Amino acid sequence: MSDIDAILSHVDNNHGPSVDGFVRLLEFASVSSQEDGRQGIADCAAWLKSELDGIGFETRIIPTAGHPLVLAKTAYVGALPRVLLYGHYDVQPAEPFEDWTSRPFTPDIRREDGLDRIYARGASDSKGQVWSVIEALRAWKAVEGSFPFDVTVLLEGEEETGSPSLPKFIEDHRQDLACDVAFISDSDMWSRTRPAITTRLKGLVHEKVTVIAPNGDLHSGHYGNVAANPVRVLAKLLAAIHDDEGRVLIEGFYEGAGDLPQSLRDQWEALSVEEAAAGVDLRGYYGKVGEVEAMWGHPGVDFNGIVGGNTGPGERSVLPASAYARLSFRLVGSQKPDKVRMAFRNFVQARIPKGCRVEFEGEGGSTPVSIDETSPFIAATVRALDAEWPEPTLFKGTGGAIPLVGFFTDLLAVDCVVTGFIQSDDAIHAPDERYDLERLRKGTRSWVRILAELDLHFGTSAETRVS
Amino acid sequence: MSDIDAILSHVDNNHGPSVDGFVRLLEFASVSSQEDGRQGIADCAAWLKSELDGIGFETRIIPTAGHPLVLAKTAYVGALPRVLLYGHYDVQPAEPFEDWTSRPFTPDIRREDGLDRIYARGASDSKGQVWSVIEALRAWKAVEGSFPFDVTVLLEGEEETGSPSLPKFIEDHRQDLACDVAFISDSDMWSRTRPAITTRLKGLVHEKVTVIAPNGDLHSGHYGNVAANPVRVLAKLLAAIHDDEGRVLIEGFYEGAGDLPQSLRDQWEALSVEEAAAGVDLRGYYGKVGEVEAMWGHPGVDFNGIVGGNTGPGERSVLPASAYARLSFRLVGSQKPDKVRMAFRNFVQARIPKGCRVEFEGEGGSTPVSIDETSPFIAATVRALDAEWPEPTLFKGTGGAIPLVGFFTDLLAVDCVVTGFIQSDDAIHAPDERYDLERLRKGTRSWVRILAELDLHFGTSAETRVS
């Protein structure tokens, strides 16, 4: 049996060095969606390998068509359960830099509101999550000398671009990844005091739509009342997507969205959406507000960007030749990315005036995932989290797509447990992204407790104890 | 009496040197709306001064709070009518450069469709117009040795930014500008064979509107179904401005727009809007198409630019913190810029959801101008143009604001004649702006004929001849 109290004490006593390592991890500009993030990705992967090797893993950096994965395995133990721990070390772009208080890849620790906050791109999403896992393993190894079962750590460098290389990697490395349970460390708590396991994950489709006039740029004074204006066409198009209550009017969009289990709806009904989106001002939303279910369980369409015509600082009398918007679709239930994309394209085509053209850009996407809340691995995780945090663990949903959960579910046919310690006011994907060092410590302790629960209730040595 | 045939022959015989001078004029990057256009403006003004001095004018470069004006006057003659000739030497920005076939400030002459076309920013709007005036004066002086009446040439460097310094300049230089008729050389022909005098000029109001969410950038997956999206708010707002027939729904917008004289409506009714917008594909317009009256005589609202959220090359799941649009309003009749601006701002304020903020940027604007089609100076110009071109002169309207016409009308209380030789396929304000050398020549000849008509019918020496 592992000495859980000794391991937890080790975590607490080594908080300083743990923070130092975290700062180092945050200094890598591992932006996966930008060409000049390539070096930061490579350096970050190499550094993570050295850290994992240092703990005693056999670690490989595995190249892909995109960015490499870091795959670390314990020396073969042969005991059950086989555990896979997943995280991602790539980050979102940090632009616009001028909106950051400190530089995004120069971590800055500030004492605020009784917390030691660390500001950096990736602090919360997801390097803070990755680092808690690594530090838990380090503490376990330091105290126990070895792991009681086979542990595989998989760190991805393409999560923020939708994990394009992961499916092929999983197929090529089924043997390496074979496991009884996969933990995905990249999700939110309910609150600073209440942990959560995410069991409902929305699917995601990105799409760019460009409206093109039959002419080049025109003088808007001369042709304003008679020639097509792509900005006007695009605005009309986007405005037609939602009704006044926020319901999506794209024909066929809701096909397969289905309904949630009543037990989950009841649990969510009791929650406050203001708390679910703590730190976010929800005023100004077009549509029905006040439903956690809408946030976690309903599909939707978002406009992520729009560009057309004069984008410069001065006035310019132009009818632009084209204008485009970037949209994303969040799916639930059994909605299919390809069907949703086609429904949108048909919706647009039916509304483009003759003479204008439309171009679409986008492919693939991720399917929604629902995880059975009654799985025994979920129950073990609930026990571990309940022991660490003041309030009982909540099952939640998320609109932030984690496509890899779908890949693990579909390709490895394994139980997934999605948990993590992100807060809604961590400003992930935004300027001034942050985390706090107390959550780093308690996150690390949580992973120690989860490993101990697995050892206690599923480990080979525990076989006589479980029914 | 002037020897008009000799002067016209001189124009024809000196076409080569005239083209050389035109090329030199087009090389100045005299972009008035950009800070780095300042040097091009200064160099262009200095060069124009030297050209006008060379013809025998007394020329001054007159600084303003913005860009300088070039003011050239003949040595005092004292004979009537006193004639003011106006043009502008500043140009629109040339961005995006990559959309030009040749470089915008390296004029390129190409033989196309039986024409020698010259490609450069400002070729048509308005350096081609300015150069025809200067070359007509040069030819007149070369043949006749002097002008029969006082001629003032005024070349502005801020037309493309709405002539902000012109009102003060006019007030400060009433004596210098005193005249009986002002010719504005900056407008369109009806067709390559039919000249036109523009008597209906729309007013112009520019406005920038920014919608600001109560939060910074948010993760659209997490908050998409519950938090405000400024792109969505802005799209709804813009889509609400026009009805399905293109009519503007802003309360109070049409106040003062009035009706056109029936004679003008009848003249315009006989015209084809496809010909009025020759070279422009009118398909794709939301609203009623097929009316020259809508193009020349109706007010309107245009969307010149829109920007929000992710404007980069990659996908990004963001609910943007803000989004903005640039709009322009074209006015007719007695519509007032300030009232239209306020009507728009009220329209927006009434539609912004609680929690979102809106910011407006924009001031001033130009009032619409209507010129009496029965003025004797208009009649003289019609005779001159009818003599030069194959088809009879048309009265037309324009949505391209020329605020200075309003300034001359209001501040100098003088008859204005607005004519010029721009074609609708000259791509003004757009990449690959162009002019053709035959229009440069016939434009120059037209100005010679106009000066001759003025001499013949209004000149002091002609006093006994006119009733």
Residue B440, pLDDT > 90, answer: yes
Q: What is the Cα–Cα distance from A124 to B222, expressed in whole angstroms?
A: 14
Mean pLDDT over all residues of chain A?
Answer: 93
Q: Which of B33, B217, B432 sits opposite A314 (nearest CB)?
A: B33
Unique residue bearing structure tokens 């629109």: B92
Q: Tell me whether B206 touches chain A (CB under 8 Å).
A: yes
Q: Which of residues 65-84 of B touch A (CB under 8 A)?
A: none
Going by their DSSP bridges, the two strands A415-419 and A196-201 should be labelled as antiparallel
Task: Kindly report the nearest CA distance between residue A86 and chain B, in angstroms.
Answer: 21
Q: Which residue of B has its CA nearest to A402?
A: B221
Unique residue bearing structure tokens 């010149």: B304
Q: Each residue of A409-435: b (16+ CB within 10 Å) or e?
A: bebbebbbbbbbbbbbebbbbbbbbbb
Q: What is the Cα–Cα distance from A122 to A92, expressed in whole angstroms?
A: 7
pLDDT at residue B184 in the model: 96
Q: What is the Cα–Cα distance from A178 to A73, expressed in whole angstroms?
A: 11
Contacts of A319 in chain B (CB under 8 A): 302, 304
Q: Which of A222, A231, A400 sits opposite B219 (nearest CB)?
A: A400
Of A81-85, A264-268, B448-452, the poorest mean pLDDT is in A264-268
Q: Which residue of A has its CA nearest to B322?
A: A305
Residue B290, pLDDT > 70, answer: no
Among candidate residues A186, A213, A162, A442, the one with its CA nearest the CA of residue A320: A213
**Contact (CB<8Å) B235/A239:** yes
CB proximity list for B288: less than 8 A, separation 6 or greater: B245, B246, B294
Coil, helix or strand at residue A330? strand
Q: Tell me whether B104 touches chain A (CB under 8 Å).
A: no
Contacts of B312 in chain A (CB under 8 A): 93, 95, 305
pLDDT tens track for A118-155: 999 999 999 999 999 999 999 999 999 999 999 999 99
**Contact (CB<8Å) B229/A302:** yes
pLDDT tens track for B128-179: 999 999 999 999 999 999 999 999 999 999 999 988 999 999 999 999 999 9
Q: Which of residues 301-320 of B touch A (CB under 8 A)?
A: 301-312, 314-320
Q: What is the DSSP letter of A83?
A: E
pLDDT at residue A276 in the model: 84
Q: Which residue of B has its CA nearest to A293?
A: B225
Give which of A31, A189, A204, A226 to mutate to test B binding, by max B Cβ within 10 Å: A226
pLDDT, greater one: A307 or B283: A307
Contacts of A38 in chain B (CB under 8 A): none
For residues A89 and A31, the answer to whether their CB atoms sit within 8 Å is no
Unique residue bearing structure tokens 């209440």: A194
Among candidate residues B369, B362, B445, the one with its CA nearest the CA of residue B408: B369
Contacts of A314 in chain B (CB under 8 A): 33-34, 93, 161
Among candidate residues B84, B124, B217, the one with its CA nearest the CA of residue B421: B124
**Contact (CB<8Å) B225/A330:** yes
Among candidate residues B259, B90, B265, B241, the one with its CA nearest the CA of residue B164: B90
Task: Kindly report the nearest CA distance between residue B235 and chain A, in angstroms.
Answer: 4
pLDDT tens track for A210-234: 999 999 999 899 899 999 999 999 9
Q: Tell me whether B31 touches chain A (CB under 8 Å).
A: no
Average pLDDT over residues A43-57: 98
For residue B6, give both structure tokens. 């000799």
**Contact (CB<8Å) B355/A303:** no
- CA angle (B300, B305, B309) in 5-degree steps: 140
Q: What is the Cα–Cα distance from B84 to B153, expressed in whole angstroms?
A: 6
For residues A226 and B275, the answer to whether their CB atoms sit within 8 Å is no
CB neighbourhood size of B461 (10 A):
13
Size of interface A-B (CB pairs under 8 A): 343
For residue B254, give both structure tokens. 């049409």
Q: What is the Cα–Cα distance from B385 to B395, expressed in whole angstroms?
A: 12
Q: What is the Cα–Cα distance from A304 to B309, expressed in whole angstroms?
A: 6
Residue A77, pLDDT > 80, answer: no
Q: Tell me whether B371 touches chain A (CB under 8 Å).
A: no
Say what percent of chain A tops pLDDT 70: 97
**Contact (CB<8Å) A305/B291:** no
Q: Which of B224, B304, B354 sits opposite A309 (nearest CB)?
A: B304
Contacts of B320 in chain A (CB under 8 A): 304-305
* Residue B318 φ then ψ, to 5°: -130, 140
For residue B259, give both structure tokens. 């009706």
Beta strand segments in A94-224, E: 108-112, 115-119, 151-156, 181-185, 196-201, 203-212, 218-219
Which residue type occupies B340? Answer: V
**pLDDT interval class at B462 (50, 70, 90):** very low
Contacts of A34 in chain B (CB under 8 A): 314
Q: Which of A235, A317, A354 sits opposite B238 (nearest CB)?
A: A235
Q: Which of A162, A214, A304 sits opposite B309 (nearest CB)?
A: A304
Which residue type occupies B274? Answer: E
* Residue B8 φ then ψ, to 5°: -65, -40
pLDDT tens track for A345-373: 999 999 999 899 999 999 999 889 989 88
Q: What is the DSSP letter of B319?
A: E
Residue B463, pLDDT > 50, answer: no
Going by their DSSP bridges, the two strands A300-309 and B196-201 should be labelled as unpaired
For residues A192 and A315, the answer to whether their CB atoms sit within 8 Å is no
For residues B248 and B300, the answer to whether their CB atoms sit within 8 Å is yes
Helix, strand counts (H, E) of chain A:
15, 18
For residues A185 and A402, the answer to whether their CB atoms sit within 8 Å is no
Contacts of B161 in chain A (CB under 8 A): 314-315
Coil, helix or strand at residue B55? helix
Task: Kindly report the nearest CA distance between residue B81 and chain A, in angstroms.
Answer: 33
**Contact (CB<8Å) A221/B401:** yes
Q: Tell me whether B366 touches chain A (CB under 8 Å).
A: no
Average pLDDT over residues A290-312: 92
pLDDT at residue A461 in the model: 55
Whole-structure pTM value: 0.77
Q: Please report how the helices A437-458 and A15-26 are oriented relative to each other, as an axis angle in degrees rounded to 10.
A: 110
**Contact (CB<8Å) B356/A283:** yes
Q: What is the Cα–Cα distance from B202 to B365, expressed in whole angstroms?
A: 11
Q: What stretch of H or E contains B376? A: helix B376-388
Average pLDDT over residues B5-27: 98
Among candidate residues A454, A444, A445, the one with its CA nearest the CA of residue A134: A444
The highest-confidence range among B256-260, B414-418, B432-436, by mean pLDDT, is B432-436
pLDDT tens track for B179-234: 999 999 999 899 899 999 999 999 999 999 999 999 999 989 989 999 999 999 99
Q: Which long-range contacts (CB under 8 A, 24 or more apart) does A115-119 make?
A: A115/A436, A115/A437, A115/A438, A116/A436, A116/A437, A116/A438, A117/A434, A117/A435, A117/A436, A117/A437, A118/A19, A118/A22, A118/A23, A118/A26, A118/A434, A118/A435, A118/A436, A118/A437, A119/A432, A119/A433, A119/A434
**pLDDT interval class at B76 (50, 70, 90):** confident
**Contact (CB<8Å) A93/B312:** yes
Quote ipTM for the complex: 0.77
Q: What is the Cα–Cα distance from A161 to A403, expressed in whole angstroms?
A: 10
Q: Tell me whether B364 touches chain A (CB under 8 Å).
A: no
Q: How far is CA B148 from CA B1, B140, B175, B450, B464, in A?
A: 9, 10, 20, 13, 16
Q: Which residue of A has its CA nearest to B288?
A: A226
pLDDT at residue A279 in the model: 80
For residue A174, give both structure tokens. 């089924």
CB neighbourhood size of A53 (10 A):
12
Coil, helix or strand at residue B201? strand
Q: Tell me whether B224 touches chain A (CB under 8 Å).
A: yes
pLDDT tens track for B305-343: 999 999 988 888 999 999 999 999 999 999 999 999 999
**pLDDT interval class at B461 (50, 70, 90):** low
pLDDT at residue A286 in the model: 67
**Contact (CB<8Å) B284/A400:** no
For residue A64, give both structure tokens. 């892909």
Helix, strand counts (H, E) of chain B:
15, 18
Q: Please report how the helices B15-26 and B4-13 are oriented relative to each other, as an axis angle in degrees rounded to 10.
A: 60
Q: Which of A33, A400, A431 sits opposite B222 (nearest CB)?
A: A400
**Contact (CB<8Å) A326/B317:** no
Q: Tell me whether A401 touches chain B (CB under 8 Å).
A: yes
Average pLDDT over residues B84-106: 96
Which residue type occupies B192? Answer: R
**Contact (CB<8Å) A317/B303:** no
Say what percent of chain B tops pLDDT 70: 97
CB proximity list for B64: less than 8 A, separation 6 or greater: B158, B165, B168, B169
Give me the residues paired with residue B184 across strands: B86, B418
Edge-to-edge order in the sheet of strand A357-361: A357-361, A203-212, A322-331, A300-309, B300-309, B322-331, B203-212, B357-361
Among candidate residues B228, B169, B164, the one with its CA nearest the CA of residue B365: B164
Mean pLDDT over all residues of chain B?
Answer: 93
Q: Each residue of B413-443: b (16+ CB within 10 Å) or e?
A: ebbbbbbbbbbbebbbbbbbbbbbbebbbbb
Q: Tell me whether A96 touches chain B (CB under 8 Å).
A: no
Residue B248, pLDDT > 50, answer: yes
**Contact (CB<8Å) A226/B285:** yes
Say what percent of chain A tops pLDDT 90: 78
Residue A464, pLDDT > 50, answer: no
For residue B53, give both structure tokens. 């001095």
